[in-house]
Structure 1
Amino acid sequence: MKYVKILLAVAFVFTLCTAFTLKGGHKPVYAFGVSASFTDTLVYYTEIQVLDSVSLDKNGFLPKRDLYSYQLKNYLELEKGLPNRTCMIYFSENKKKLSKEAVKVMNKYKKNKSVALQKINTGDFKFSKPEE
């Protein structure tokens, strides 16, 4: 009877520990990019994408976020022949909040009648995790 109690106690503790570790798992991080230029009336933006194998740091920032901006900048310079662009990345663990932010950013550009928006499809460009 003593061994049964010990076995049940160990099983209970194991179940309790695994339940908490599974619950607090990795949240996906979503991002989209925007690229503008002072010499061009086209503003390029990406679709909202899931960033692979990435998690925000303890302060809620995306590690190496500057490298994601450079990915977009390099794509536009090398693939599209569009030099001198300023690229920004927006990120969040909440896709709904990020979608609202994307609408807000695009609406600011739409207010300026001389600016045209050009979407970059995920099939053409996709953010990838920077090398360690």
Structure 2
Amino acid sequence: MKYVKILFAIALVFTMCSAFSMKKDLPKPVYAFGLSASFTDSVVYFTDIQILDSVTVSKEGFLPHRELYSYQLKNFLEENQIQQNSTCMIYFSENRKKLEKEATKILSKYKKSNRVTVSRIDSDKFCFTKPEE
């Protein structure tokens, strides 16, 4: 009877451990927005906050191929003759509220200046796409 209790306890512990390890971590969505500024232009362009398709943040907290997302925005602005020679940045987070707060903070700094005009790029005109690997 003693061995049955020990065996049952071991089986119970094994079952509990395996049940928790089977829990799959679903990938969190990654949100991003882009910002474009130029030293020769008084207009700052920014995109809406968008969900990046099929992207996960690395263990170190970096967005893979983040420079390619910046180039997407830069190429869009140059191809459509909106802004030439711009510096484009991408801001990303797995938490939408945190990213909205960051966007508000950054855009309010630009809006304080009377010399800079802030212009929004609609999602129907520009949307980030996953870069080909």
SS of residue paired to 2:127: coil
Structure 1: where are the runs of 5+ without partners?
1-8
Q: Which amino acid aligns with 2:19?
A: L
Partner of 1:42: 43
1:49-128 matched pairs, under 5 angstroms: 49-128=50-129
Q: Partners of 1:125 and 1:18 in 2: how far apart? A: 41
SS of residue paired to 1:89: strand
Q: Which amino acid aligns with 1:117?
A: V
Q: Partners of 2:95 and 2:21 in 1: how far apart? A: 25
Q: Which amino acid aligns with 2:99?
A: L
Pairwise CA RMSD of aligned residues?
Answer: 2.0
Q: Partners of 1:102 and 1:42 in 2: how far apart? A: 16
Shift of 1:17: 5.4
SS of residue paired to 2:35: strand
Q: TM-score, normalised by structure 1?
A: 0.85
1:48-91 CA distances to partner (integer Å, 9 max, x unpaired)? 00000000001010001000000000000002342100000000
Q: Partners of 2:74 and 2:132 in 1: how far apart? A: 17
